[in-house]
């Protein structure tokens, strides 16, 4: 089966071609980060318009890279949610229209299922069952994954997502948007012990997270009369240490509670070096293995959408022929 995957839920336009017998044939990504940086965050209307501009060329490029003729496509998969309504509608309309023109079926995909399964695109491929730690700009979840389509939510954030906390804290420290990677880079040079920051919900009996208080604690430090600009790296390090400690502690608790031996990390925050280091240490101690998608597949991308569609189809999912353009921003 040959699947074209389209991702447009936020500020990345991703397109990919996946073949169930030959693997990932081609993928292209256009990120709008620079366009939104001027505004300090994603501007939904600009995101939608840019997806409109980019999609046709990206799809043509991917078809050429994969040396595939339109007639050889079997299914067109696209992200139907969650995400920005307008941005999702662009991808859905494009995919449904292309499918109508080519007389092919479609398959709407849940964005987080794409992230969740993306580590299976990279060798070594973890076997089921595993624990998924989903850490992106919009979500922070711990999920027990038994098989494709069989997911059990064990815990999630009750306020900000981990990536969102990184981005907001970066903004407080004047690091621009999206500040997560910049904050992580600054933290590398800092001393995490100069500032004592809270570990929200660390010892709570649930597997839920809360990161908004941490951001407030950082705001209080930055706003205090004895704040000095040269403390920025130390505060960044203290913040990163707090987030990572909470993420790792809850992951260990979830592994134990669910009796699992494999952990899969997905979403943009999975690129964080300190998180990877502490998870590796915890895994060595507790006896679980940790898997990551390729760095290129950590952020939003079309490959994970085409791939999730492929696994769903192999698991018996029905394709869609009704041509209706429907998105689910809060899916
Ligand atoms: O999965 P993703 O590309 O997009 C979605 O949110 O769906 O994740 C992006 C998030 C942003 O919040 C970004 O700041 C964060 O991942 N991020 C990082 C790092 N790289 C990206 N956060 C911490 N450390 C990093 N190295
Ligand atoms: Zn995402």
Average pLDDT over residues 15-32: 97
Mutate to test the pocket of ligand 1, among 140, 165, 172, 268 (most ligand atoms within 8 A of CB): 268
Above 90 in pLDDT, residue 82?
A: yes
Please name the residue whose Cα sits nearest to atom 20 of ligand 1.
181
Q: Which domains does the chain have, with CATH numbers?
A: 2-116+298-314 (3.30.420.40), 126-292 (3.30.420.40)
CB atoms within 10 A of CB 125: 9
Name the band, by pLDDT with cuts 50, 70 and 90, for residue 296: confident
The answer on pLDDT for 189 being more than 90 is yes
Question: What is the C-alpha to C-alpha distance for residues 200 and 167, in angstroms, rounded to an integer?
Answer: 18
Identify which of 183, 248, 271, 172 has the alpha carbon closest to the alpha carbon of residue 215. Answer: 172
Distance (Å) of CA 213 to CA 19, 156, 199, 256, 291: 45, 16, 9, 27, 30
Tens digits of per-residue pLDDT, 25-65?
Answer: 999 999 999 999 889 889 999 999 999 999 999 999 999 99
The predicted pLDDT at position 307 comes to 98
Binding-site residues for substrate, in ranges, read 134-138, 167, 180, 272
Tokens 């208080």 -> residue:
213
Q: How far, in Å, is the centroid of ligand 1 from the Cα of 12?
A: 12
**295 pLDDT more than 90:** no
pLDDT for 326: 96
Residue 298 has pLDDT above 90, yes or no: no
Mutate to test the pocket of ligand 1, among 7, 116, 163, 241 (most ligand atoms within 8 A of CB): 163
Q: What is the spatial distance between Cα 92 and Cα 55, in angstroms, rounded to a whole number?
A: 11
**Ligand 1 centroid to residue 26 C-alpha, Å:** 23
Instruction: Give tens-digit pLDDT for 241-277.
Output: 999 999 999 999 999 999 999 999 999 899 999 999 9
% of the chain exceeding 90 in pLDDT:
92
For residue 101, the CA-to-ligand 2 centroid distance in Å is 29
Mean pLDDT for the chain overall? 96
């Amino acid at each position: 089966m040959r699947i074209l995957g389209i991702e447009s839920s936020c500020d990345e336009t991703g397109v990919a071609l996946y073949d169930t017998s030959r693997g990932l044939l081609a993928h292209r990504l256009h990120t709008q980060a620079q366009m939104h940086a001027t505004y300090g965050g994603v501007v939904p209307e600009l995101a939608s318009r840019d997806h409109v501009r980019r999609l046709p060329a990206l799809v043509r490029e991917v078809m050429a890279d994969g040396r595939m003729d339109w007639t050889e496509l079997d299914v067109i998969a696209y992200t139907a949610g969650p995400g920005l309504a307008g941005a999702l509608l662009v991808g859905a309309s494009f995919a449904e229209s292309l499918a109508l023109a080519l007389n092919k079926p479609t398959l709407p995909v849940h964005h987080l299922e794409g992230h969740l399964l993306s580590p299976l695109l990279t060798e070594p491929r973890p076997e089921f069952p595993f624990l998924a730690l989903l850490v992106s700009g919009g979500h922070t979840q711990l999920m027990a994954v038994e098989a494709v389509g069989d997911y059990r939510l064990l815990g999630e954030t009750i306020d900000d997502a981990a990536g969102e906390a990184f981005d907001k804290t970066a903004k407080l420290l004047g690091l621009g948007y999206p500040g997560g990677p910049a904050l992580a880079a600054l933290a590398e040079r800092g001393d995490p012990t100069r500032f004592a920051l809270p570990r929200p919900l660390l010892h709570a009996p649930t597997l839920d997270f809360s990161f908004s208080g941490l951001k407030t604690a950082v705001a209080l430090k930055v706003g205090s009369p004895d704040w000095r600009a040269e403390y920025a790296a130390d505060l960044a390090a203290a913040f990163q240490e707090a987030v990572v400690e909470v993420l790792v502690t809850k992951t260990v608790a979830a592994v134990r509670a669910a009796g699992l031996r494999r952990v899969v990390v997905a979403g943009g925050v999975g690129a964080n070096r300190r998180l990877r280091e502490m998870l590796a240490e915890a895994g060595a101690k507790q006896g679980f293995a940790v898997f990551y998608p390729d760095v290129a597949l950590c952020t939003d991308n079309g490959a994970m959408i085409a791939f999730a569609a492929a696994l769903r189809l192999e698991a018996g999912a029905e394709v869609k022929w009704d041509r209706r353009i429907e998105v689910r921003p809060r899916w």
